[in-house]
Structure 1
């Protein structure tokens, strides 16, 4: 693969995504973290790189036939944008569960969109049927050497800007992004470490490496919809086996924490699949190294943003839900709220139930949600309440 030539062609359509040093993720991981923000790329993700590189290489006869692709969203937008720029018809098959924002933007770039199936693999089968029936050229999102060549240009940019990079951390869905980055990075700097990260609910690369062959997962269950792939690509498995040093997994709760930190500390919004590398930084065994996590995309639904922030606050102990029993007599609720105020916690929500059966007949249950500064603050609150004789039940 010729990554340098690919980069030259891509420069006319790409936006610069310069590295961003992160004090908060550096502190949390014990390394020097420089974020590669591909969520700020044109179409909101890295996918435009591989899609454009593939489509620009088509013959004139292939261009006349038009292209078809299957995608959970970002590849769809990349193909749609590239096809529009090169004057080619594009048809995209997307899972019915694809966030609405990704569907809308794909249509905005001029592609015909067909919604089919629950996950990427279902959409893929439908796209292959249409390829055969209509004669379209299929643009695979990850199992194609021209696509990998385009994605690999990210590694060139990273090493040009930070030549002494020690580790690059990359999300894994079908495996195209990490295959391109790993092969390009190792070509330029053989001793660099490449670490892949995938959601624990769709760990197809982990399963393949464990079994030393590609396997199909029974399901792909994760909030990281862009990496909800049950089977990695054949070509990608070979590249991962050859060039990737380690593959880690993170769960959905770890993703919510990373999302909150990125949003709050950097004022940057990224999608769940895109923040997989950030969520895995605390799991790295390296310390004091220059580490570049690739935040691969930023196309996320507004409602999901709200949900991720709320869950992230709970996961980081910034929101604490608990129940406490108090005597059912005047003034007792005021005493309770006064203790909470003295500790410096902010009551967000409070409700009580006089009719719930409790061990002591004249008690009532109070359900409270408070905003805190973190784990230590919660511990101080619990200690203050218990000193006054209250029994706390976490919710």
Structure 2
């Protein structure tokens, strides 16, 4: 997760900046008025979600393997590996709020946040012999469209630091997660030179692309995982996670010979797969005759402007409108969301609602202002997806 000091703002005129400032101030005044009970009369009851992400990742007994987390963010990988039976060694993230989030939800964990979580300042050799697997999601902004796709020219590119940790600690296995754009043509040279070349000397690498709905997460989100094993036998035993859920509107993935893909596209949805909930069902909202997957929840820390919106595109706006859900100006909690009625009368999302759509259970609360909380959520690996990756690795190691 990128530090706020790395945030790249818009290069706009003072007049344009003033427009955004006035719009933001007007929204803040309307929100304060609503919280005082002076806004429009609430029209939506406080929702009780029907989806419990804990059900998507049953707690497994300890498997004896020890995991170290880098770029921990809101803790998606951390939670997934924890519920899969891995023993937590430590978590590192440069965002102070992320450190506080993880300490609050797991007081027994060793967590380094803020300056202490700066991975560029750590001598990882101290962990040699104490860690079996390293997992982390180096900042995706250098490779995502929202982050301007500057690759290694982006100061937020931390993939070399993840690789340094792997080479210094020499774990049995590792997992690195990122946006699928990283395995596209634009970054093919980067992938070969920066990622594959230094690792292939000691590790067998496998690419796995997974879709969130295939694991019961009601959101259109696809991510690539780089799985590495120090022993070829373990790599040959590795099987990428099979889908547990199906959503009939999911597009068919195109199979590439050099990539192990989410096998949802190769299976005919049947009784063996559980149905993935849509957004409204997952959040416990009334039936309006239409439901579908959530558009990708964007991180409020990605892009040129910090925001409390999770809107990712113009096409996503159309989906949210059809769902009768307001994705802009996410509220801190459900009580405030109910009071702050959008002009169009749609249901306003809250931070806990966005967390559910990302696969975090209600018990996993996020520290910081709304935009900091949404940043942790939107940048996180959906925990149920991380859980299935963790289980697949444990099976290969056994």
Q: What TM-score bracket applies, with the shorter chain setting the length? A: 0.3 to 0.5
Larger radius of gyration: 1
Normalising by structure 1, we get a TM-score of 0.33
Structure having the higher strand fraction is 1
Structure having the higher helix fraction is 1
Higher relative contact order at CA 8 Å, sep ≥6: structure 1 or structure 2? 2
